């Protein structure tokens, strides 16, 4: 099992409008369980909010 760098994951997520487990699987080539872990991490980090919508910092 390969854990990708959280910076790469975060930067990718921030460049999206909406993040889903399926998109994470496709982008990073990981299985369902690992993609769910990544998704949960993004949610706990506050990058992804309700319905998988990405929280973009307001300038």
Tokens, residue 11: 């930067």
Neighbour tally for 51: CB within 10 Å = 8
Q: Give me the pLDDT at residue 12, please.
A: 96
Q: Give me the pLDDT at residue 56, please.
A: 79
Q: Give me the pLDDT at residue 6, please.
A: 87
Tokens, residue 46: 């506050």
pTM value?
Answer: 0.84
Q: Give me the pLDDT at residue 10, please.
A: 94
Residues 1-52: pLDDT tens digits? 456 688 999 999 999 999 999 999 999 999 999 999 999 999 999 999 999 9
Domain extents for the chain? 2-52
Q: Give me the pLDDT at residue 46, please.
A: 95
């Amino acid at each position: 099992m390969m854990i990708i760098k959280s910076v790469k994951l975060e930067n990718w997520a921030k460049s999206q409008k909406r993040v889903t487990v399926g998109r994470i699987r496709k982008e990073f080539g990981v299985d369902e369980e690992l993609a769910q872990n990544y998704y949960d991490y993004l949610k706990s980090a506050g990058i992804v909010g309700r319905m998988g919508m990405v929280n973009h910092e307001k300038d």
